[in-house]
Structure 1
Amino acid sequence: MRRRPALLVMDLINEIVHPDGKYAAEGYLEQITRRGVLERTAVAIGRARAAGIPVIYVVVGFSAGFADWPEGSPVFDSARADERLVLGTWATRVHEAIRPADGEAVVAKRRVSPFHGTHLEVLLRGLRVDTLLLAGVTTDLVVLSAAREGHDRDYRVEVLEDATATSDQELHEAALKVLARTATITSVDRALPA
């Protein structure tokens, strides 16, 4: 059977991956830079576009006023306190190095999962996708959540390990061990050969 993939580029937004981002200072930027995540993701995006594979961006954020913010969430507890992750602002824009091309979908999410409360599934079904290629940050949160939910929605899931990161290498490696239970751990070059 022919593979029909889509590349999901998740949470590579300024607040997390830009030097001026508030989360960047919490260890994410060091790991993203050391691992070359933006560069590897740019390669993946270029190859996907050249092969006619849909590229879908997922960004996390909340509306101004934070009515949709999950009170009590240990993941998002600091977002409201210092007004991080407001949708439509510089903070939640995809980093300039990998910005969406005209016509590429951007899915806004308000929780860890890219499926929860979004139109991602409708978009994937409309594109007749059967395989998810996952890139982004963080490995232990959005990547893990997307892999598990994608698996349970009957997608084949491939994690582009060299295009993912979290706040430290040990946590990244632990997440990959868990991910290997429901996804194939691969690389940009193997999943999207030149």
Structure 2
Amino acid sequence: MSPEKRTVSWLLGVVVLMGALSWAAVPFYNWFCKVTGYGGTTQVAEQPSDHEIDEVVRVRFDANVDKNLDWSFKPMQNRMDLKIGENALAFYEAVNTSDEPITGTASFNVAPEVAGYYFIKVECFCFTEQTLQPGESIEMPVSFYVDPELVNDRDAKWVRDITLSYTFHRTEPKQAALDEDPAKAVN
């Protein structure tokens, strides 16, 4: 093989490798955040906690709305003081203030970031799209606990104030997109 063909083959291989790495970056980053709690990403449990300890943590609640979403959105409580490991239920309220049906999806994070690994959601409205009709309001629950292992973590054991923050973003409803083009269905 000539040096020119070898160089072109090598460069083509680099381009393919870079494309593959960039394609894999988002799923890998999401996986990394879920496993480590990096960036305030919370963990998810299938069932409530069965163990609590006699130390108290304060959870504060924050709500934001993307500027493209005509909703009001707020926590129904500002904070909760609970034992570490205690199962808790908090509520948020969203109101569609526009004159059209709007679908939104919530993103979330926890601060400080180190607490994300120990903030466990059992049930959350952020796992599904929310479609509200004009003027409609909805109360949305989030069931959670703070894992007692928090007190054994070298970096997180001092955390006693945690903020759970949600931001609602406008999204296109999945069902409407499927009704328009059934080829968009993903199996």
TM tier, smaller: under 0.3
Q: Which has the larger radius of gyration?
A: 2
Bigger proportion of residues as strand: 2
Q: TM-score, normalised by structure 2?
A: 0.23
Bigger proportion of residues as helix: 1
